[in-house]
Structure 1
Amino acid sequence: MNKNTKNRAFLKWAGGKYSLLEHILPHLPKSPKLIEPFFGAGSIALNAQYDNYQLNDINTDLVDLYKLVQHSSQHFVTALAPLFTPESNDSDFYYQRREEFNATDDAFRRALLFVYLNRHGYNGLCRYNRKGGFNVPFGRYVKPKMPSAEIAYFAERFAKAEFTNLDYVEVIKKAPDNSVIYCDPPYIPISKTASFTQYATSGFSLDAQEKLAQTVLDIVAKRPVTVIISNHDTPLSRRLYRGAKFNSFFARRLISQNPLNRKPVRELIAVFCNETK
């Protein structure tokens, strides 16, 4: 990462790591390959220097979009432009496009609409109902920015990256020796009223948190890899990530939807390392 410049993702993303780069990147060691089982919008990989990348997410819409951008970014940006006009920043237009997104099977059109909905929808959320329908409400922004430059940079940087749409356990278990694996799962809730995050169309439950932790413990015990996990700093996360080196800090990212009740929260970085040769 350039010391004076940070590269932004072209998607808005709840829980994105752009504002936390200075805390996370120093914990990612040199390696031939960076693997992200929970890629999301990609702020870490966009700012980390590796020769090879495997970028995985369980969200099929997200991965399909990235593959299209990877191979045809200029055409994609040209086709995206009509969705970023003053007329498109309208609630009726938004809900019509959301309905179209949920109905279409056209991969290219669906990818365009995904970017439109992401930049015009509420708070960078990516949320689906139980039937798999995208259901984020209109965001009411003054002038949503068309991320042309960010899309071009993404395509250039990840021209040779491997994008996958697999279960995180499979991705971690198949990681080659000497890889760095950065995991940014849906976070453990910190409030009494919060529930475990719904991720894609299925829930990321307490069992899933425990399964992730055990998968990481197993691979690090057997293989020369480094695994870094981000999560809320809670007694549960520290118990799950036993054996890791911990780094805790206050995040500028805020979790409450009510601006009057927003408070900084503690983030935890857990680093698991097996340097066996």
Structure 2
Amino acid sequence: MADAMDLVQQRVEEERQRHIRAARAKTPGVSRVLCIECEAPIPPARPPRHSRCAALHYLSGNRRAERQTLQRRCCMSTILKWAGNKTAIMSELKKHLPAGPRLVEPFAGSCAVMMETDYPSYLVADINPDLINLYKKVAADCESFISRARVLFEIANREVAYYNIRQEFNYSTEITDFMKAVYFLYLNRHGYRGLCRYNKSGHFNIPYGNYKNPYFPEKEIRAFAEKAQRATFICASFDETLAMLKAGDVVYCDPPYDGTFSGYHTDGFTEDDQYHLASVLEHRSSEGHPVIVSNSDTSLIRSLYRNFTHHYIKAKRNIGVAAGEGKSATEIIAVSGPRCWVGFDYSRGVDSSAVYGVRA
């Protein structure tokens, strides 16, 4: 009797496997799945982790399938698409962020760091008034913001609508701060590759992205509004922000990278700004504040932060390359702290302390 049952189970399993093979034969094979926010590979066999984000399916042979908004979890999505978004490297970055009563960010960007950490409070600053205005309005009235923005996403996904809204965003003197925040989200999600760029006159000048179905980040907006109750948002320069440090504050700086795009604001970010920022951070570090800085791996950055420990990581770059292709580049995470003494030559008075570099 037992042998007969085993035979039946074997045949049932064979039939099940036959149906699976038949179904696979009718379905194109998927070679890889990429997160649409950070473009990191999502292993199909691995259970998804972290928060909600969209994904792109790529068929075997690297042919693009139709763009689908899949509810896959790869990383914490942010409200905005943003050049230099730290979402993809947060697992590495969090290793270097110590505990403290407050995290201070002079360069807000997409607020990925705020969303992926759990400090009791935050001071989030940026020199871009449109960015800070958006964050303040979402924090103040999340439901009204979602209602107005959702309607805009539903009815205005056309080129002519995009340029009309951009025109009003740039030139209207009657637009309220609330509607300007709604427009900023719309322009970010409908503009080319989510870039944020201004001309010398201070006007947002990103062209239409021509996306079939731009993602409306409702869940990300709600999550941000909840987290933002612990945050203070200010439109200020890094000088002004770093002058507001209190005892115990942890500082994380993610300035425009050396040698890369820096048009997030009308004035840009120059090499002189890199020098000045490094000088201010060195001073704040000497006062006892933990300081962590992200930047490009260039000779200038290595020199400016020579008294910090350097951790090197590979990060994906999405700007300046074809969509979906991307390329990686080495970045530095510079961490303040006591220098490691190799030795001191008393006869010559030579300081032989070393700048440590750690490959992730």
| TM-score, scaled to structure 2 | 0.71
Amino acid at match of 1:50: Y
Q: Offset at 1:103? A: 2.0
SS at match of 1:9: coil
Q: Deviations over 1:208-246 (max 9, x none)?
A: 00000000011111x121111101111111001110011
- Letter of the structure 2 residue corresponding to residue 15 of structure 1: G
CA deviations over 1:71-111 (Å, ceiling 9, x no partner): 100011011111111x4211111111100111234111111
Residue matched to 1:70: 139
CA distance in 2, matches of 1:124, 1:251: 18
Q: Write the mapping of 1:257-272 to structure 2, written as runs, cut at 5 A.
A: 257-258=321-322, 262-272=326-336
1:10–1:150 contact (8 Å) kept in structure 2: yes
Q: Which amino acid aligns with 1:238?
A: R
CA RMSD of aligned residues (A): 1.9
Deviation at 1:258, TM superposition (A): 4.1
Q: Secondary structure at the match of 1:21?
A: helix
Matched residue type, 2:167: E
8 A Cα contact 2:255 2:294, kept in partner:
yes
Q: How does 1:10-89 map to 2 (within 5 A)?
A: 10-85=79-154, 87-89=155-157
Could you tell me which amino acid in structure 1 is paired with residue 213 of structure 2? K
Q: Does 1:234 align with 2:303?
A: no
Matches within 5 A, 1:180-259: 180-189=250-259, 197-221=262-286, 223-258=287-322
TM-score by length of 1: 0.91
Q: Equivalent residue for 1:161?
A: 231
CA distance in 2, matches of 1:199, 1:254: 16
Instruction: Trace 1:164-183 onto structure 2 (pairs within 5 A).
Output: 164-183=234-253
Gap runs ≥5 in structure 2: 1-47, 51-74, 339-360
- The structure, 1 or 2, with the larger RCO (C-alpha pairs under 8 Å, 6+ apart) is 1
Amino acid at match of 1:44: V
Determine whether 1:91 maps to 2:155: no
Matched-pair contact (CA < 8 Å) for 1:173–1:219: no
Point out the more displaced range, 87-96 or 207-216: 87-96
CA distance in 2, matches of 1:4, 1:145: 20
Q: CA deviation at 1:199?
A: 3.4
Asked if the contact 2:321–2:327 (Cα under 8 Å) also holds between the matched residues in 1, the reply is no
The Cα shift of 1:252 comes to: 2.2
* Cα 1:96–1:255 shift into 2, 3 Å: closer
Matched residue, 1:4: 49
- Whole-angstrom CA distance in 1 between matches of 2:109 and 2:117: 15
Structure 1 residue aligned with 2:176: 106
Report if aligned partners of 1:102, 1:133 keep a CA contact under 8 Å in 2: yes
Distance 1:36 1:248 in 2: 21
Distance in 1 separating the partners of 2:102 and 2:250? 6
Equivalent position of 2:198 in the other structure:
128
Counterpart of 2:32 in structure 1 is none
Per the TM alignment, residue 45 of structure 1 is displaced from its structure 2 partner at its CA by 0.8
Q: Per-residue deviation at 1:173?
A: 2.6
Question: Distance in 1 between the 2:220 and 2:146 partners?
Answer: 10
Q: Show the counterpart of 2:222.
A: 152
For 1:261 and 1:37, how far apart are their aligned partners in 2? 31
Say whether the 8 Å CA contact 2:120–2:230 is kept in structure 1. no
d(CA) in 1 for partners of 2:197 and 2:319?
16
Deviation for aligned residue 1:139:
0.8
Distance 1:115 1:130 in 2: 22
* Unmatched 5+ stretches in structure 1: none
What is the CA-CA distance between 1:259 and the residue it aligns to? 5.7
Identity value in percent: 39
Count of equivalent residues: 266
